[in-house]
Amino acid sequence: MSKIASLTFALTSVVWMCLAAVSISYRIWLAALFGLLALLNIGAGFVWKARARRKAG
């Protein structure tokens, strides 16, 4: 996985988690949605990394 791709996954995960934290006081379902999106984004990063390792060697 390239450095730019890992940085992109890290930054987007942080953004989703921050949005989830801020939205807790407004709507709980919105916070749950942002939390789920953060988890899916982190999982997608791990999948991408595993596929890149498998392809490289």
pTM (2 decimals)? Answer: 0.85
**pLDDT higher than 90, residue 2:** no
* Residue span of the structural domain in which 11 resides: 3-56
CB atoms within 10 A of CB 36: 12
Helices (H), the chain: 3-23, 28-56
Total domains in the fold of the chain: 1
Per-residue pLDDT band for 56 (boundaries 50, 70, 90) equals confident
**57: pLDDT strictly greater than 90:** no
Give the pLDDT of residue 8.
95
- Residue 39 is predicted with a pLDDT of 97
Q: Where does residue 16 rank: exposed (0-12), middle (13-18), buried (19+ CB within 10 A)?
A: buried
* Mean local confidence (pLDDT), 19-42: 96
